[in-house]
Structure 1
Amino acid sequence: MHNEEYEYAGFWIRVGATFIDVFLLSIILLPLTMMVYGDLTWKREGLILGSADFLINYVLPFVATILFWLYKSATPGKMVLNIKVVDADTGEKLSVGQSIGRYFAYIPAMAILMIGIIWVVFDKRKQGWHDKLAKTVVIRKRKK
């Protein structure tokens, strides 16, 4: 993507966007989970308490993230910080396939000590492994 108006968004602004997203998701998902599971929410022994937990804490964030990427090119945290996720070659919005691929590409990016996420610091296009796998970049308007 070659557009003089934009630059690649770096590691720390992306971390900030993630913190905002995690906070917003928590204030939505935690009360929903507690309404269904009560104190079991805090005493979970496995990854999933039941079908409602799966829907609330896995399916809902997945669907919301994909829809935000498709329609806004950014999650709420990225929107607050004025950064967006676009196709690495065209600079256009992501396709459905790219969005789904990017979402699941976070798994290998975080699997080994978060190396695939930290990779953003060292990459010339500031791409993490999830970006490389999905052929995306995160951009922001260039400071003038």
Structure 2
Amino acid sequence: MRFRDLKNNNKTKNIQKQTNRKAHYAKTSLRIKAFITDLFMIYAPILYVITYIFMGGKDEFQESNLAPFIGVSLYALIYSLLVGKFGQTPGKKAYDIKIVDAKTGQLLGFWRSLCRFVMFLFSAAILLGLMTQLYRKDNRTLHDLICGSVVIQDTKL
């Protein structure tokens, strides 16, 4: 048997294992804890650097309209890179949860992660989008439904 055939056979076995196991959806409390952890680990340092290194102090930051936008944009890029490449941010890794495609279980990629983040901002703005997970068995929020993603408990086999 050729090496290529062995490699393809292993890939199909791994896909069958992933599709056969039942997804354990992440609890709302874990998602909130992971979000708060990410705010402290990623967003707070970004704001600190913008405020005290580039802007020169909190007064200039508070007067600026562009500085908060730049902070959120940098956070969105870092978040999207981490979720697209690994399926996790540091907060999600701390609580063993992962963001994957709802149908295939594969990682989302950068552009879908960025779209999911933008939809998260919309969901958070209307609050109703975040409340949808309280009424669904799979704990999917509005931004998960729009982007076709799901947050699962990452259990190692």
Query: TM-score, with normalisation over the residues of structure 2?
Result: 0.76
1:130 aligns with 2:143: yes
The answer on 1:140 being equivalent to 2:157 is no
- Which residue in 1 is equivalent to 2:53? 35
Alpha carbons of 1:72 and 1:58: their partners in 2 closer, same or farther (altered >3 Å)?
same
| Count of aligned positions | 138
Alignment of 1:1-144 (within 5 A): 3-33=20-50, 34-40=52-58, 44-45=62-63, 47-49=65-67, 54-55=69-70, 57-112=71-126, 114-141=127-154
Greater C-alpha Rg: 2
RMSD: 2.4
Structure 1 unaligned residues grouped into runs of 5+: none
Contact 1:85–1:137 (CA under 8 A) maintained in structure 2: yes
Give me the whole-angstrom Cα distance separating, in 1, the residues matched to 2:59 and 2:38.
20
4+ long deviations beyond 2 Å: 1-6, 38-43, 45-49
Deviations, residues 36-61 of structure 1 (Å, cap 9, x unaligned): 11224576145424xxx644x13321
Bigger mean CA deviation after superposition, 69-78 or 103-112: 103-112
User: Greater relative contact order: 1 or 2 (C-alpha under 8 angstroms, separation 6 or more)?
Assistant: 1
Q: Give the share of equivalent positions with the same residue, in percent.
A: 26
Greater fraction helix: 2
> With structure 1 as the length reference, what TM-score do the two structures score?
0.82
Aligned counterparts of 1:98 and 1:26: Cα–Cα separation in 2? 20
